[in-house]
Amino acid sequence: MAFDKRNLQVLANYCAAAADAMAYTLMRTAYSAFVKETEDFSCTVVTRDGLAFASPRSFGAPWYSGIDYSPVLEMIEFYEPGDVCITNDSYSGNVATHSTDIHIWKPVFYQGEIVCFVVGHIHNTDVGGAVPASLSRSLTEIVQEGIRVPPMKIIRAGKLNEDVAAIMRLNVRAPRQNWGDFNAQIASVNIGERKILEIVDRFGVEQFKEGAYAILDYAEHQARSVIESVPDGEYFFADFADEDGDSPYPCRVALTLRVRGGEVELDYTGSDPQLASSLNMPTGGRERHPLALVGLTYVLYTFYPGMMLNAGTLRVARAVLPPGTVVNCEQPAAVGMRSLTCMLTQIVTFGAFMQAMPQKMPVSAPGGNAIMNIKTNDRNDRSVMASIGPVGGGGGGTPFADGPDGMGGSSAFLKNTPIEVNEVEVPIRFLRYGLQPDTAGAGRYRGGLATVMSFVVSSPNTIVTARNRNRSRFNSWGAQGGQAGSLSSFTKNPGTERAVELGNIDVVTCEPGDVIQVIGPGAGGWGDPFERQPEAVLHDVQRGFLSADKALAQYGVVLAEGRIDEAATRLRRAARQQGAGQAAPFDFGPHRTAYERIWTPARYALLTEFLSQMPVMWRHFLKHKIFAAVQYESASEADMRIEMQQIFAAQRARFAAPSPVVA
């Protein structure tokens, strides 16, 4: 059957509605706030060979819209009606990307034939392991990150595998909550199966199967039309995450974007070696892995908001993911914080596309959204394990509007959990949850303000984790003359004699009366701040978003008695413009600017080449040794090259074990 656009859209709408029904069922029956309120889940319909072609239109995580389930589908020897399969193992097919994500899938049979699969995942608040909530950047091996379930049938022909279920419940901190969420997942795929069978009855089995691939083809056509509008060329961009709580050295994600003839390559060569922390991404080197390409999905949707989001969207792209690096780690690397590194891939994708289309691209959201988790006890000694976040930054400024406050594009699917829900479920008292003034990067169109959260702990031996915190050293960049956003902070007992600045330490033990305060990173601005309308600056001051001092320093707007002094503002702006030169394409903030005077792209290229010759498990160690040896700017590139070669030779001489890998 040949589908015209109208009929294809009708079928796509039916399938999306099935996914919506799955998502709604999951939210209404889940136990944990992180599923039912924050919506960290996915519900998807995939083809018989695993390609996602339908997802919810407004629920859950958009990261998975282009997912390919084929690696795990193929690990099950055979399927029969009533089967439900499960996995959360990041190294079995690279579909589950950290242990807290439980993925399940169910075959949909019609007259004895599999016509598709209904699939989905949820983020469990805890799956055991070394720390409450299972995730911390301090963990070094995946075995520390909780129980791992390889791809298997958890329900066989409608009958639950009680032995596996008992093991899953025994090894977690909140078994009742986890099991309630798992049953909600089962309800979700059962609803999905029922809805798909209704669609097959309506359209016919052959038309349904053919239509699924036609939907993928149409999404590819839409994506290609966007890429064809991007100037052909090669564009490089890099950004940094704070590596862990103790390390002074950052984690670098580098991207070379190549656009040619309606296709795009995202080459992550130059990204750091896999870390002895949990920021590693378990992509398996798959060239269309969602973690590596979600930034591209966001870029495509920015230019084409009506685009279908599915696996067809990603056919225009391929990712180059060097093995043994932070974007393609190898066992037994820890991977729990892979979402922070994934946010970096989004950020560098935006930075690269901004060089190709500077007047059309918005500034990236800062990333580093803290997912706050609490392990405590209530007055009845009942153990409580809950997520109460997120606490993030705003969206970056755009060429035509300010960035959204408090919730940027890289975390838009993580919904706000109401204070009332958190205080009912967790024995804490909130002092503040809102927007933090003076955090937005200045610009003609400013970045979004960061979020602030502070709360008082009520029970002894409470453990707070702040997963995915970042931007405490490297600011979120501004563009086209816009300024970088503010840094984030994490403080125990702020404003007291017992105040402790926690930096990127993300597991904190608290006692009754302790206060935890988290402030997210501000987003960067777009365009020259002195071109911002003075009335917009005044409006921000009136709303408490901006102080009068910042209005003067960042925007050159002089305020007197709550009004704009227009004459003084004109004079101040004119004086600055007389001495102003050409604005740099990006403002990275003072820390990165100083850092890259020493760690230039040329030095990084030499480091990447050297480390790629070393055994994978030596690379992170050697990186730190080399960073400690490189302390000064070099007078010339030739001097720098000589210096680096001498450092490499010294490391080889000192450590005999790391020899070049022989293919």
| DSSP H or E run through 387 | strand 383-387
CA torsion sign for 494, 500, 503, 507 is negative
Q: Is the pLDDT of residue 504 over 70?
A: yes
Apex 627 CA angle, 626 and 629, nearest 5: 65
99-119 pLDDT tens trace: 999 999 999 999 999 999 999
Residue 267 β-bridge partners: 256, 320
What average pLDDT score do residues 325-345 get? 95
Model confidence at 415, in pLDDT bands (50, 70, 90)? confident
What average pLDDT score do residues 359-386 get? 89
What pLDDT does residue 410 have? 62
What is the average pLDDT score of the chain? 93
What pLDDT does residue 581 have? 64
| DSSP H or E run through 251 | strand 250-260
What average pLDDT score do residues 382-400 get? 90
Alpha carbon distances (Å) from 536 to 54, 445, 468, 555? 41, 9, 33, 10
Phi, psi (deg, nearest 5) at residue 204: 95, 145
Question: Beta strand 263-267 with 250-260: parallel, antiparallel or unpaired?
Answer: antiparallel
Model confidence at 244, in pLDDT bands (50, 70, 90)? low
Alpha carbon distances (Å) from 298 to 104, 365, 410? 25, 11, 9
What pLDDT does residue 153 have? 98
What pLDDT does residue 662 have? 47
CA distance 409 to 393: 10
Q: Is the pLDDT of residue 157 over 80?
A: yes
With b meaning 16 or more CB within 10 Å and e meaning fewer, what string describes 161-178? Answer: beeeeeebeeebbbbebb
CA distance 441 to 447: 5
What pLDDT does residue 413 have? 67
What average pLDDT score do residues 220-224 get? 96
Tokens of 422: 């958190």
Q: Is the pLDDT of residue 511 over 80?
A: yes
CA distance 211 to 18: 15
276-299 pLDDT tens trace: 999 999 999 999 999 999 999 999
Residue 169 β-bridge partners: none
442-499 pLDDT tens trace: 999 999 999 999 999 999 999 999 988 899 999 999 999 999 999 999 999 999 999 9
Tokens of 246: 């103790």
Q: Is the pLDDT of residue 390 over 90?
A: no
CA 504 to chain centre: 17
What pLDDT does residue 663 have? 44
Residue 122 β-bridge partners: 41, 102
Question: Beta strand 317-320 with 263-267: parallel, antiparallel or unpaired?
Answer: parallel
Alpha carbon distances (Å) from 633 to 141, 597, 643? 35, 6, 11
What average pLDDT score do residues 127-138 get? 92
Q: Is the pLDDT of residue 76 over 50?
A: yes
Instruction: Please report, rounded to a whole number, the percentage of residues in the chain having pLDDT higher than 90.
Output: 81
| DSSP H or E run through 428 | strand 428-435
In this prediction the pTM is 0.94
CA distance 530 to 380: 58
| DSSP H or E run through 479 | strand 478-479
What pLDDT does residue 8 have? 93
What average pLDDT score do residues 591-596 get? 94
616-643 pLDDT tens trace: 999 999 999 999 999 888 778 888 999 9
Q: Is the pLDDT of residue 189 over 50?
A: yes
